[in-house]
Chain A
Amino acid sequence: MTEFTPLVSLFGGALIGLAAVMLMAFHGRIAGMTGIVASVIPPLGSDWAWRAAFLAGAVIAPALIVAFAGGDVIGFHSPMPVEWLVAGGLIVGIGVTFGGGCTSGHGVCGMARFSVRSIVATLTFMATTAATVFIVRHVLGVL
């Protein structure tokens, strides 16, 4: 069980949106984690420096929150066994590369522009995620 946190989640979501809007206002770019991560994997593109800085900021932020507000502020529990995480990571990396985006790029930035491709992509991965969770938890009985 995890606690239902509508207000904190809404506020966190609004911050994600603020970051997306700022990246468009300053850099003219979509805040898609797939493209940003891919750009810092060699062979590097020409515009990788600001993307590396974005990633550094994204990693440092939770560390700062934990350092100043204490370890319990940000809930974290990773229930899946290590082999599933490795498989999941590989599958995610392959899927987002061919699909051209993930929850941030298609789900937030693309849907906010009413992009048909992003709406179709988001509906597709939300459906397969839900189906996968159902199979893993209720058919295979793994948690």
Chain B
Amino acid sequence: MQKVLVAGLIGLIFGTGIAISGMANPAKVLNFFDIAGTWDASLAFVMGGALAVTAIGYFFILKRPAPVFDKTFHLPTRKDIDTPLLAGSAVFGIGWGISGFCPGGSIPALGLGEPDALIFVAAMVGGIVLARFARNTLGSRASAQKT
């Protein structure tokens, strides 16, 4: 229960950061990428602030033996650069560029009661479900071919 409540509190902090930084505002996000037009460099400061705090915080936290609510830290261990990573990230950028929403920006934007945020999130959930289905189908076919 405590684990759930603390996660809710951390979500509040995350949502506050996203909202006041401008990451939940598609116009501001798109202007950051529009260097040839109405450029707004604010998002570089969002990334800078978030990266500085996270890098320093992780440096100290990850020296501890374990997190408060778990026996171990769950960190991705892969180091290889594969096609899904490159293609998926490239595709994500295309969607971000045509909508102005990324996952972390769109969820807090729901709290602003904006219909556009809801439309985006609904479509994004659809995209996740589709991708899962495709991956499971392709994955089972690939493993069937191997045997």
Chain B residues with CB under 8 Å of A31's CB are: 10, 14
Q: Let me know if B70 and A27 touch, CB within 8 A.
A: yes
Q: Which of B26, B54, B123 contacts A108 (CB 8 A)?
A: B54
- Interchain nearest-CB distance for A106 vs B (Å): 7
Chain A residues with CB under 8 Å of B47's CB are: 13, 107-108
Q: Let me know if A58 and B108 touch, CB within 8 A.
A: yes
- Chain A interface main SS type: helix
Map CB proximity to A onto B35-56 as digits: 1 under 8 Å, 0 otherwise.
1111011110111111111110
Interface residues on A, range: 35 or more
The tally of residues in B whose CB lies under 8 Å from a CB in A reads: 117
- Interchain nearest-CB distance for A47 vs B (Å): 9
In residues 57-114 of chain B, which contact A (Cβ within 8 Å)?
Answer: 57-58, 61-62, 64, 66-70, 72-76, 78-81, 84-114
Q: Let me know if A17 and B101 touch, CB within 8 A.
A: no
**A20: nearest chain-B partner, CB-CB:** B54
Chain B residues with CB under 8 Å of A5's CB are: 22, 42, 45
A59 contacts the other chain (CB 8 A): yes
Q: Let me know if B27 and A79 touch, CB within 8 A.
A: yes
Chain B residues with CB under 8 Å of A94's CB are: 88, 91, 95, 127-128, 130-131, 134
- Interchain nearest-CB distance for A138 vs B (Å): 6
Known interface pairs A2-B22, A58-B18, A60-B15. Does A127 touch B10 (Cβ–Cβ under 8 Å)? Answer: no
Q: Let me know if A27 and B54 touch, CB within 8 A.
A: no
Q: Which of A62, A98, A103, A136 contacts B84 (CB 8 A)?
A: A98
**A22: nearest chain-B partner, CB-CB:** B10
Assembly CA distance A76 to B7 (angstroms): 26
In residues 6-36 of chain B, which contact A (Cβ within 8 Å)?
Answer: 6-28, 30-31, 33-36
10 closest A-B pairs by CB: A93-B127, A57-B11, A12-B21, A89-B123, A88-B99, A132-B97, A99-B88, A17-B53, A13-B49, A128-B93
A positions within 8 Å CB-CB of B? 1-31, 33-34, 37-38, 41, 49-51, 53-66, 73-80, 82, 84-100, 102-104, 106-113, 115-117, 120-122, 124-134, 136-138
